[in-house]
């Protein structure tokens, strides 16, 4: 019964999802549990999952799964972020890749005594790092963004390059006549360039199709995209052998950096599908490795892996990041985090199968060593990465910055004030026009559905001071605040109310633990129009000293009137905080007001008569929502 291929796939899928669920609750890298699950359920122990019964179908499954995983990885690479670290990334995937191949080959030749052919093949197999391991790991470690960008980009791009390099190396090694180095390089460039060109063309075509109104029936866009990705993967492989990996990676980058009507749904669908594929593949591939083959490597195998981790990887990073913007501590951390993932495992299994098909020895030993590398690097990164990030002081600060729902003018004005104060702000909006305007203002914005947990996690909600809902829709604002409070318990929460009504009342807001933003009802669209027309100024006022000594509740909202001004924020001890319904002021505080130009004189008179003191003002012709000239936050 267990020799049934369909049952094997079904059991691998179920075991993969159960393993990832267990890993989530145990707070350890999922790949560690997946590898253990595959070994436990494989032929050496429980003998429940038998990959051998799949025959050639295993190779097809691996191909389809890798295509989906790398397309999803490409979608996650944002060009704007890559540009900031382009030197480090470019050198890591070129110079660094060559150093890894040469260093690993030399290590295997010296320590294990392998011939140069086997040693070189091993070097090409471990050239890749795994985005399937690195991305979840970085979400858990919460390191500085520039370090995370370098590691994520290296993982995705080196997979595409490394896979083609490994395949060309295998073809050259198994070719009876052999192949010159120049010929091998030509094949690598041809497949990388051809695959990337096909992927770029397909990506732009797919974006056009997805944006065309009424062309693709509503509800099947995600499945349509999936089928097209698999088709271009296989078509590229037929035209240029093994170029499909480069094609789907390039297509993913194009789609991920373009505006489409279904982008947020597509990203969520791909993430879920990737999780399923990763689980199935790791269980199948680890079950296919014999424990006796790993044990047979002995101490030389262990020393080879240790040399790869602590000699070759640091040499790769430090040499290839010379003259980059990365600090020494950042380079040390990147050296420490180099886990191998699904592409290395898949290629190792392919190599073993090719060796067996040609009746050559060494394929199983090669696969066993690669799986030992995967296990060691994943366990090391997963268990020690957090300690290294803290020791090197590369963890993102907690309780830092704000997530703002909305990319309208009022939200962007508030975001700019926080950014000027040195605080990080991430806006989330599902309106493509608003997102484009925010990007033009150099505001960090996510084009996403903020009700999806994945969007809030991308905004790093769990490390923020708080969240603000600044859209014209009161119901959406309240739902967002409730969602954010469930994901991160200690957040400061604020939401805009357009009017005090029974449908969404201040009491309902208070029950969620939030405050009414600005301390009064505010019409977001009304004030966004005023900002767009440059009919406002921003003023900072100090409260009367006698009242400030008594820690008074803010009464400035009543002084400025209903539609003449908005109390945006309070500056206390150099730190800006949103103005809320529970805000109280103290000596030395400054209130940031958004003032309607036509009512400015009346407001200033009322405030001065009440003892308030104007500290500074930004005139309407000087104020804009643009952050482009501000220094980036860490």
Q: What are phi and psi of 616, to 5 degrees?
A: -160, 160
**Comparing C-alpha atoms, which of 553, 578, 557, 554 is closest to residue 568?**
578
Confidence at residue 549, expressed as pLDDT on a 0 to 100 scale: 53
Q: Residue 327 pLDDT more than 80?
A: yes
Q: Residue 438 pLDDT more than 60?
A: yes
Give pTM, 2 decimals.
0.77
What gap in Å lies between CA 148 and CA 397, rounded to an integer?
A: 14
Tokens of 116: 């140069």
**Comparing C-alpha atoms, which of 36, 13, 16 is closest to residue 382?**
36
What residues have CB less than 8 Å from 34, skipping those under 6 apart?
Answer: 16, 19, 20, 23, 278, 279, 282, 283, 286
Confidence at residue 587, expressed as pLDDT on a 0 to 100 scale: 79
Helix, strand, coil abundance in the chain, percent, nearest 5: 65, 10, 30
pLDDT in tens, 245-274: 889 888 988 888 887 776 667 777 777 788
Q: At what angle do helices 30-41 and 5-26 cross, to 10 degrees?
A: 140
Percentage with pLDDT > 90 across the chain: 23
Strand (E) positions, 431-588?
Answer: 445-447, 466-469, 492-495, 515-516, 536-542, 565-572, 575-578
If you average pLDDT over each of 173-177, 213-217, 328-332, 347-351, which comes out highest?
Answer: 328-332
Q: Residue 305 pLDDT more than 90?
A: yes
Q: Which of 13-17, 75-79, 461-465 has the lowest mean pLDDT?
A: 75-79
What gap in Å lies between CA 613 and CA 604, rounded to an integer?
A: 9
Distances (CA, A) of 553 to 190, 492, 547, 579: 69, 18, 9, 11
Mean pLDDT of the chain: 85
Domains of the chain in start order, with CATH, are: 5-391 (1.20.1530.20), 402-618 (3.40.50.720)
Q: Which helix (H) or strand (E) holds 433?
A: helix 432-440
Q: Residue 52 pLDDT more than 70?
A: yes
Tokens of 121: 């093949």
Mean pLDDT value of segment 536-545: 87
Q: Is 197 exposed, middle or buried (0-12, 13-18, 19+ CB in 10 A)?
A: middle
Residue 215, helix vs strand vs coil? coil
pLDDT in tens, 54-94: 887 877 888 888 888 888 878 877 777 677 778 888 888 88
Rounded to 5 degrees, what angle do the CA atoms 72, 74, 78 make?
120
pLDDT in tens, 211-235: 887 788 877 888 888 899 899 998 9
Strand (E) positions, 343-469?
Answer: 402-405, 425-429, 445-447, 466-469
What gap in Å lies between CA 282 and CA 280, rounded to an integer?
A: 6
Q: Residue 311 pLDDT more than 90?
A: yes
Residue 623, helix vs strand vs coil? coil
């Amino acid at each position: 019964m267990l020799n049934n291929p369909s049952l094997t796939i079904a059991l691998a899928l179920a075991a993969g999802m159960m393993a990832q669920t267990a890993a989530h609750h145990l707070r350890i890298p999922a790949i560690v549990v997946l590898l253990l699950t595959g070994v436990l359920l494989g032929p050496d122990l429980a003998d429940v999952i038998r990959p051998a019964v799949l025959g050639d179908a295993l190779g097809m499954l691996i191909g389809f799964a890798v295509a989906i995983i790398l397309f999803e990885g490409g979608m996650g690479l944002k060009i704007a972020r890559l540009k900031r670290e382009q030197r480090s990334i470019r050198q890591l995937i070129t110079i660094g890749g060559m150093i890894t191949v040469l260093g690993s080959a030399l290590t295997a030749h010296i320590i294990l005594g392998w011939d140069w052919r086997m040693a070189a093949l091993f070097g090409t197999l471990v050239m890749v790092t795994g985005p399937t391991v690195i991305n979840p790991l970085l979400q858990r470690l919460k390191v500085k963004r520039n370090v995370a960008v370098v590691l994520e980009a290296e993982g995705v791009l080196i997979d595409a390059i490394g896979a083609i390099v490994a395949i060309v190396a295998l073809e050259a090694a198994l070719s009876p006549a052999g192949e010159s180095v120049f010929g091998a390089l030509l094949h690598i460039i041809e497949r990388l360039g051809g695959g990337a060109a096909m992927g770029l063309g397909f990506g732009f075509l797919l974006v056009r199709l997805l944006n065309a109104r009424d062309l693709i029936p509503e509800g099947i866009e995600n499945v349509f995209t999936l089928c097209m990705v698999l088709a271009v993967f296989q078509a590229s492989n037929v035209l240029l052998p093994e170029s499909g990996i480069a094609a789907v990676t390039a297509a993913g980058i194009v789609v991920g950096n373009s505006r489409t009507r279904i982008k947020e749904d597509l990203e969520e669908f791909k993430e879920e599908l990737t999780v399923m594929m990763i689980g199935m593949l790791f269980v199948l591939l680890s079950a296919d490795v014999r424990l006796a083959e790993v044990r047979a490597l002995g101490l030389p195998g262990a020393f080879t892996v240790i040399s790869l981790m602590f000699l070759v990887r640091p040499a790769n990073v430090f040499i290839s990041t010379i003259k980059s913007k990365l600090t020494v501590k950042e380079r040390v951390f990147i050296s420490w985090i180099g886990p191998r993932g699904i592409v290395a495992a898949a290629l190792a299994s392919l190599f073993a199968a090719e060796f067996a098909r040609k009746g050559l020895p060494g394929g199983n030993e090669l696969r066993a060593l690669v799986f030992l590398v995967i296990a060691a690097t994943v366990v090391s990164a997963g268990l020690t990465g957090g300690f290294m990030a803290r020791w090197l002081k590369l963890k993102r600060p907690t309780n830092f910055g704000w997530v703002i729902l909305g990319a309208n003018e009022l939200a962007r004005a508030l975001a700019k004030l926080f950014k000027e104060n040195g605080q990080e702000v991430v806006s989330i909006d599902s309106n493509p026009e608003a997102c484009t305007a925010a990007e033009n203002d150099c505001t960090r914005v996510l084009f996403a559905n903020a009700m999806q947990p994945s969007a809030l996690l991308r905004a790093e909600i769990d490390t923020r001071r708080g969240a603000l809902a600044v859209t014209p829709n009161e119901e959406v604002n309240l739902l967002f605040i409730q969602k954010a409070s469930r994901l991160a318990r200690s957040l400061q929460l604020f939401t805009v109310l357009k009017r005090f009504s029974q449908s969404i009342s201040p009491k309902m807001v208070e029950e969620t633990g939030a405050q009414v933003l600005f301390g009064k009802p505010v019409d977001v669209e009304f004030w966004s129009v005023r900002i767009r027309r440059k009919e406002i100024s921003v003023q900072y006022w100090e409260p009367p000293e006698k009242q400030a000594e008594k820690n008074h509740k803010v009464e400035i909202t009543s002084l400025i009137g209903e539609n003449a001004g908005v109390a945006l924020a309070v500056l206390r001890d150099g730190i800006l905080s949103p103005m809320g319904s529970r805000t109280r002021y103290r000596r030395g505080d400054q209130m940031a007001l958004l003032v309607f130009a036509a009512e400015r004189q009346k407001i200033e008179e009322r405030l001065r008569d009440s003892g308030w003191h104007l500290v500074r003002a930004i005139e309407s012709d000087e104020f804009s929502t643009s952050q482009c000239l501000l220094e980036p936050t860490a």
